[in-house]
Amino acid sequence: MKSQAKLRRQLRMRRHARIKKKIRGTDGRPRLVVFRSLKHLEGQLVDDDRGVTLLGVSTRGVERGDSDDRSGKVAHAFAAGKRLAAKATENGVTDVVFDRGGYPYHGRVKAFAEGAREGGLRF
């Protein structure tokens, strides 16, 4: 019998594979991929045509910014989204395709996306 953690990971990987079949990042519009661990959240901009990561950001080095009603890990995710958007606009990227990585769109994933939108990214 499989452990619950292994089963959840496999189901998430299946969902992520289904999502990746439908969306594709290009040089002009890269894919914004989210990875969520128990403590942190990471976001990367990926160009699938060339198979390279353009840039990435994590909540490990991010100070909690000015988030009104957010606290804890959700506030860190929001600040990381804003930081990724700032880095992306420096590199000339304004449009992205959002890939939630098989995770439900709520909590930290949603806060990260809202931070990126507030920072200037369009998706």
Q: Which two tokens stand for residue 95?
A: 């449009």
Name the residue range of residue 106's domain: 4-119
DSSP letter at 72 equals T
Contact call for residues 77 and 9 (beta carbons, < 8 A): no
The values of phi and psi at residue 3, to 5°, are -75, 160
Render each residue's pLDDT in the chain as its tens digit; 123 residues. 679 989 999 999 999 999 988 988 888 899 999 999 999 999 999 999 999 999 999 998 777 666 667 788 999 999 999 999 999 999 999 999 999 999 999 999 999 999 999 999 998
Contact call for residues 46 and 25 (beta carbons, < 8 A): yes
Number of domains into which the chain is organized: 1
**What CATH number has the domain bearing residue 27?**
3.30.420.100
